[in-house]
């Protein structure tokens, strides 16, 4: 028999969630090797959100099977009131599996999704939401411009060519330094980056006085939850490598995929070191103490073999 009445019955109201839910996806299985500095990267990501987000929001973190250090850090933050919603998965569901959860669980009308290695600048959210709410039929907005495959924003260009109020410009609008800095964070060589910069172009759209670039990316974006849910579920059999399903499905559905004209988000990858320091460190490694050893490891065929071995070890570890 029940004893007494549940005190919750006498509450006059409940708190309502904010219109925007910022969702951070993280996976830090251990703190060594590739993941040695990723907890510091996560801290930098969250710090930039707390400091530079200029619209009301709730913060949701989905931990995709991290080790004890990361989980304890996140639980401490939630107890301190810094994280409003914390979801801890015992196993790594992959990004698609995480999307299946968070696109349904986020209480806000707008979801601002990011991987945990993004660093945000002041105004990132308001500028992204402005584009989302100004352009019609937007699927997702990424908070920096960079060049993505045209096949994933073909419907955006098609819309612009048919919309009388829209203006489309084709050219090189991203400054070299901004283009280079982002591609370096993806592990690309400067020579390859320069070739891609010189052989590709930007597409800039202007609609009702607001400019945006064509394209977007699954690593960070802002979108209406109701539209994101249209593409559920995601059935991916690998943690990474199939995430462009969202990019393709959204383009096929005719939704606009856009980016802010300003670089308001940056990819840190797995380190928080300054870009110049990382480039200088790489140069020292290539030269080596004898002037030869570092260069050997940069020989393309040697580099490919070493990266293949690293990839196989990673797969064996997580597939076992």
Per residue in 282-298, pLDDT (tens digit) is: 344 334 433 434 455 55
Q: Which pLDDT score, from 0 to 100, does residue 311 have? A: 53
Calculate mean pLDDT across residues 8-14: 62
Weakest mean pLDDT among 160-164, 188-192, 289-293: 289-293
pLDDT(159) > 70: yes
Backbone angles phi, psi at 17, to 5 degrees: -70, 160
Domain 20-267 has CATH 1.10.3720.10: no
| pLDDT tens for each residue of 94-110 | 999 999 999 999 999 99
Region 256-264 average pLDDT: 97
* Confidence (pLDDT) at 245: 87
What pLDDT score does 54 carry? Answer: 97
| Predicted confidence band of residue 12 (pLDDT cuts 50, 70, 90) | low
Does residue 83 register a pLDDT over 70?
A: yes
312 or 71, higher pLDDT: 71
Categorize the per-residue pLDDT at 310 as very low, low, confident or very high, splitting at 50, 70 and 90.
low
Which residue did the predictor score with more confidence, 51 or 235? 51
Provide, rounded to the nearest whole percent, the portion of the chain with pLDDT above 70: 80
Q: How do the domains of the chain map onto residue ranges?
A: 20-267, 277-319
The reported pLDDT for the residue numbered 309 is 62
Q: What is the mean pLDDT of the chain?
A: 87
pLDDT at 61: 98
pLDDT number for residue 285? 35
């Amino acid at each position: 028999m029940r004893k007494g009445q549940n005190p919750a019955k006498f509450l006059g109201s409940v708190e309502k969630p904010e219109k925007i839910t910022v969702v951070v996806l993280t996976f830090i299985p251990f703190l060594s090797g590739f993941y040695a500095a990723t907890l510091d990267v996560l801290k930098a990501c969250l710090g930039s959100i707390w400091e530079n987000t200029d619209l009301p929001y709730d913060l949701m973190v989905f931990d995709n099977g991290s080790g004890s250090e990361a989980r304890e850090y996140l639980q401490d933050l939630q107890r301190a009131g810094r994280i409003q919603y914390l979801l801890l998965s015992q196993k790594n569901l992959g990004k698609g599996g995480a999307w299946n959860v968070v696109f349904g669980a986020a209480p806000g009308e707008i979801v601002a999704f990011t991987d945990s290695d993004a660093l945000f600048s002041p105004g990132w959210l308001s500028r992204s939401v402005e584009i989302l709410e100004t352009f019609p039929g937007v699927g997702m907005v990424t908070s920096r411009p960079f060049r993505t495959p045209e096949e994933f924003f073909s419907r955006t260009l098609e819309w612009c060519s048919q919309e009388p109020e829209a203006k489309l410009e084709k050219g090189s609008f991203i400054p070299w330094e901004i283009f280079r800095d982002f591609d370096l964070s993806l592990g690309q060589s400067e020579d390859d980056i320069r070739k891609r910069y010189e052989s590709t172009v930007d597409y800039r759209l202007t609609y009702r006085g607001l400019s945006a670039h064509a394209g977007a990316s699954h690593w960070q974006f802002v979108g209406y939850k109701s539209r994101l849910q249209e593409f559920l579920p995601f059935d991916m059999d690998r943690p990474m490598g199939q995430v462009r399903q969202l990019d393709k499905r959204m383009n096929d559905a005719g939704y606009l995929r856009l980016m802010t004209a300003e670089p308001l988000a940056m990819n840190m990858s797995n380190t928080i070191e300054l870009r110049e320091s990382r480039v200088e460190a790489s140069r020292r490694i290539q030269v080596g103490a004898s002037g030869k050893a570092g260069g050997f490891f940069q020989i393309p065929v040697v580099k490919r073999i070493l990266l293949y071995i690293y990839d196989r070890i990673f797969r064996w570890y997580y597939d076992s």
